[in-house]
Structure 1
Amino acid sequence: MGRHSRKGPEPAGPGTGADDAEELGANGPPAPGTGRRRKRTDAPAGSGGHTPFQQGAQVRGGHPEQHEPGGGWGTGPQPRFRIDEQRSAAATPPPRPQRTAQGQPPTGTRPLIPGPRREFVEAFGEPAAPSAPGGPSVPPARPADPYASVGEWDERPQGPSADAPAKEGKGGKGRTFAGITAAAVTTVLAVVVAGQVAQDNGAGSTAAQPSGVDRGGPDGASRSDGRGTPTPRKAEVKPLSYAEKMARAYPLDPKLKASGKFETVPGKAKAPGRGRKYRYRIDVEKGLGLDVALFARAVQETLNDDRSWAHDGAMTFERVSTADPDFVVTLASPGTTGDWCAKSGLDTTVDNVSCDSAATERVMINAYRWAQGSSTFGPDKLFAYRQMLINHEVGHRLGHNHVSCRTPGALAPVMQQQTKSLDIDDIKCRPNSWVYPTD
């Protein structure tokens, strides 16, 4: 049956035994074919100078999607040699095959079988095909590196000559890895710079910072360098006025007994009015922790107020800091006040009150009452209570005794013991600070 099962006479033409016999001769058996039928040189040329395929119907070209010549296995001819040809290849490199005008290899020449594309071999780590033994060492052409601009420094030789061949292992795979790494670094730097610019713009700055400056390093200019830590601005505290200080309560123990030693408030305040002049001094017990200047001012302004004992120019009061005053207004702790009041036969420890120690030069003002006031005036009338306390105790020094309220709902007399009560003999009166009130 032969090589085919088809019956009938053998077709004449290329590929038949007659043609094959013609190709035999001194050159020996023919080289393996390429799988395609060779064109006959005596066949008439078709349109465009091409010879139509013999003994076959005319068909259209191959798959239109195969635009790249050679498909996935490349176009580069890779020579393959028989055993007897490899022996002579050591002395003489194989000649480059020639083609006829029709693009076919000439008769008696071994056709070339295409090999895999070099890009695929290098991408999968396959070594390049070795050159023929004994031939010149020519480095194979490398494909264009898409990252050559960013990875060029990795390919430069470190030796004295720039023309020296590249070291082994720095082939296309190394360049690709280096290029990808450099591209990744460039991308990260771009993201960092963009973040810095966005952060600066968010903080109100429109100037972009240079990308090559490390703000945290010693050579970089940090925004915190040369700038002192901002000190929070203290809110301007407006000093309290005299009236505000007189309306505030101050802490003091109702059972306090201080050192018993006094110090005189320095300075003096001239008598502002006419009439009989009374000279007084102010002593304050050490260790009270109260504002002695406030106390001295309160005594001077209260006694010389027209609603007080200086009403209508009847008398005037002058503060001095020397010896031999008419009396000494003394601010002392509850324990010390009790001691000095007891010298005049008065007991102030029961209700923790003040007194005029008539047997001495001192008009005693209980520091606890001065600091905390009393329930009869309440916390909202501390200013008025302190004025009443000064007028009441100095009134005793001027010769006035206690007087009680006789009209319900009326203002209590300044000489009433208002620290103890405003309700005496079932007659309740209102608190009052002045000798001559205007209400």
Structure 2
Amino acid sequence: MGRHSRKGPEAKAPEAGPAPAEPGAGREGTRPAPGNGRRRRPGEAPQAPDGPAPFQGAPQVRGGHPEQREPGGGWGTGPAGRPGPPSRTEPGRTAGEASAPQQPQAPRNAQGTGTKPLIPGPRREFVEAFDAPAARPPRATPAPERVAPADPHGPVSDGGEQPPDSADGAPKDSRGGRGRTFTGIAAAAVTTVLAVVVAGQVAHDSGGRSGEAQAAGVDRDGTDGTSRSDDRNTPKVAVKPLSYEQKMAKAYPLAPKLKGSGKFTAVPGAAKAPGKGRKYVYRIDVEKGLGLDSALFAQAVQKTLNDERSWAHDGAMTFERISTGDPDFVITLASPGTTGVWCEKSGLDTTVDNVSCDSAATERVMINAYRWAQGSSTFGPDKLYSYRQMLINHEVGHRLGHNHVSCRTPGTLAPVMQQQTKSLDIDNIKCKPNAWVHPQG
């Protein structure tokens, strides 16, 4: 046990020393005049008659240990230069009368003499940092809408509530006012930057969308994905047009009882006769409102009639199409109702089987548009191309003076002038469908 904590009769100070504190006064009693803030070595303190005396000039605290203060760190900066050696008190003089090389400064919260102790007291912010109780962790404030913090694992602001630690109820931060200020400034800066970035992005998106919506002529509700697909170039798939053969093999919608306007339009253009035989000049009229491809129909007529398997076989004849002038006949594509009207002018009834005819009393060779668009059950849907060729050759054959002919040998190709739309089985003789006058070429 150190000699400063030894129990026993209180040590007596020299007669010239300061008066001892009254019993029960505690720390509030008059303290001895402060020294230079350093302990004396054991050999330096003057000895009392009864034993060693306490350090002269050091304030007394609980436990008998003098209060220690050192320059620098949390206790502030001491006087310039390194302090000199402690002064010794002379016999017969009090500690307050001892000469010192520097003027002592009063310690912080000291209630002794009015002189200043040698070393200044600690700075206030360091004392509060150790004296104040630990503050509660700040409560995170809700982040602004659509603004995420830069660090998802760190707080955005430092504005959480703290319990009052002082008499006036003001909250204290264990980090001090300066640290809280820096944290608030940093949080405000991060929030401001994020808000500016989000606002700029929203403005950019909304501007781009509105421009696209005006260009497309539609309104958009601003949803989306999913996918920002507006900025991507949509690949343009080139649709290859159908060939002539594909169009001729394709069925088209048309009602079997349709009756059109009865008004016709000549298909514009012309096609020269390719051969040197007997030339027949014709025009093609199409009833208005059918919705069929009139150019395809005109192309089919010209190709079929001048084919070597048709009436132009061996150069016997050739066919030329015109759109104006005086033709030999007019090949007319008309609705079933209009076809029936024109066929009736020549004493023919086409309404029973919904067929075509050559109205010999008129200039028109009538092609029933329903048969052209849908074909017949005798050929079926897979032979629609061939059926359309037969339909042209058969009706023009009537205009050239040929009558109906039936198949005489079972299993053979039916003659082109047989009524193949109605049946391929005549007089119990079943033949195969055929589109050509000279099928062998």
Report TM bin, short chain.
Answer: 0.5 to 0.7
Q: Cα distance 1:343–1:235, how it changes in 2: closer, same or farther (>3 A)?
A: same
- Aligned length in residues: 323
Identify the match of residue 291 of structure 2 among 277, 289, 292. 289
Deviations 1:131-159 (A, max 9, x none): xxxxxxxxxxxxxxxxxxxxxxxxxxxxx
Task: Establish whether residue 421 from structure 1 lines up as the match of residue 426 from structure 2.
Answer: no
Q: Distance in 2 between matches of 1:367 and 1:69?
A: 118
- 1:334 maps onto 2:340 in alignment: no
**Using a 3 Å threshold, how does the CA distance of structure 1 residues 279 and 217 change in structure 2: closer, same or farther?**
closer
Q: Percent identity among equivalent residues?
A: 63
Partner residue, 1:31: 32
Match in the other structure for 2:372: 370
Alignment partner, residue 160 of structure 1:
none
Deviation at 1:271, TM superposition (A): 1.5
Query: Do the aligned partners of residues 174 and 288 (structure 1) sit closer, same or farther apart at CA in structure 2, a change above 3 Å counting?
Result: same
Q: Distance in 2 between matches of 1:361 and 1:24?
A: 153
1:181 is displaced (CA, Å) by: 2.3
Q: CA deviation at 1:215?
A: 5.8
> 1:367 Cα deviation (Å)?
0.7
The whole-number CA distance in structure 2 between the counterparts of 1:39 and 1:262 is: 135
Deviation at 1:40, TM superposition (A): 6.0
Q: What does residue range 65-76 of structure 1 map to in structure 2 within 5 Å?
A: 74-75=74-75
SS state of the match for residue 337, structure 1? helix
State the match for 1:432 in structure 2.
Answer: 434
Instruction: Supply the distance in 1 between the matched residues of 2:262 and 2:352 (Cα, whole angstroms).
Output: 20
Instruction: Pick the aligned partner of 2:15 from 16, 21, 24.
Output: 21
Shift of residue 381 of structure 1? 2.0
Q: Which residue of 2 aligns with 1:353?
A: 355
Q: Which residue of 2 aligns with 1:138?
A: none
User: How far is 1:251 from its partner?
Assistant: 1.7
**Which segment drifts farther, 362-371 or 338-347?**
338-347
- Aligned residue for 1:200? none
Q: Which deviates the most, 227-236 or 369-378?
A: 227-236
2:187 corresponding residue in structure 1? 184
Q: Deviations over 1:278-336 (max 9, x none)?
A: 22221221221222121111111111111001100111112233454222111111000
1:144-183 pair list within 5 angstroms: 173-183=176-186
In structure 1, the residue matched to 2:96 is 108
Cα distance change, pair 233–38 in 1 and its aligned pair in 2 (3 A): closer
Aligned-pair CA distance for 1:76: 5.0
How many angstroms apart in 2 are the aligned matches of 1:122 and 1:55?
36
Q: Secondary structure at the match of 2:284?
A: strand
CA shift for structure 1 position 338 = 0.6
Per mean C-alpha deviation after superposition, the further-off stretch among 282-291 and 360-369 is 282-291
Residue of structure 2 equivalent to 1:135 = none
- Give, in whole Å, the separation in 2 of the partners of 1:422 and 1:354: 17
d(CA) in 2 for partners of 1:54, 1:293: 135
Partner residue, 1:315? 317
SS in 2 for 1:280: strand
> What does residue range 63-142 of structure 1 map to in structure 2 within 5 Å?
74-75=74-75, 101-102=85-86, 107-108=95-96, 112=107, 118-121=124-127
Question: Could you tell me which amino acid in structure 2 is paired with residue 16 of structure 1?
Answer: A
**What is the CA deviation profile of residues 70-129 of structure 1, one whole-angstrom value per residue up to 9, with x for unaligned ones?**
7xx95359xxxxxxxxxxxxxxxxxxxxx8724899823898468775224555998xxx
- Residues 26-51 of structure 1 show CA distances to partners (whole Å, capped at 9, x for unaligned) of xx9762899x996666569xxxxxxx
Q: CA deviation at 1:369?
A: 0.8
Distance in 2, Cα, partners of 1:272 & 1:42: 143
Q: Report if aligned partners of 1:125, 1:173 keep a CA contact under 8 Å in 2.
A: no
User: Secondary structure at 1:22's aligned position in 2?
Assistant: coil
Distance in 2 (alpha carbons) for counterparts of 1:6 and 1:186 = 63
Cα distance in 1 for residues equivalent to 2:209 and 2:371: 56
Q: Does 1:380 align with 2:375?
A: no
In the TM superposition, what is the alpha-carbon distance from 1:408 to its structure 2 partner?
A: 3.0
Q: 1:207-247: CA deviations, max 9, x gaps?
A: xxxxxx956679xxx99999998774533233322222222
Q: What SS is found at the alignment partner of 1:277? A: strand
Answer with 183-192 or 370-379: which moved more: 183-192
- How many Å separate the matches in 1 of 2:425 and 2:301? 27
Superposed CA RMSD in Å reads: 4.7
Distance 1:37 1:344, change over 3 A: closer
Q: Give the structure 1 partner of residue 172 of structure 2.
A: none
Please say if residues 310 and 436 of structure 2, whose CA atoms lie closer than 8 Å, have aligned partners that are also in contact.
Answer: yes
- Residue 265 of structure 1: how far off its partner (Å): 2.2
Matches of 1:336 and 1:104, distance apart in 2? 143
Given that residues 32 and 95 in structure 2 are in contact (C-alpha distance below 8 angstroms), is that contact kept between their aligned partners in structure 1?
no
Aligned CA distance change for structure 1 residues 394 and 55 (closer, same or farther; 3 Å): same
Distance in structure 2 (CA, Å) of the matches to 1:321 and 1:6: 141
Contact 1:391 1:433 in 2 (8 A): yes
Query: Is the Cα contact below 8 Å between 1:30 and 1:108 reproduced in 2?
Result: no
Task: Say if 1:428 and 1:266 are closer, same or farther in 2 by CA, change over 3 A.
Answer: same
1:250 is matched with 252
Partners of 2:371 and 2:404 lie apart in 1 by 19
Contact 1:303 / 1:317 at 8 angstroms: preserved in 2? Answer: yes
Gaps of 5+ in 1: 45-52, 57-67, 78-98, 127-171, 197-212
TM-score (norm. length: structure 2):
0.60
Q: Which moved more, 1:255-264 or 1:321-330?
A: 321-330
SS of aligned partner of 1:298: helix
How far apart are 1:250 and its partner, in Å?
Answer: 1.7
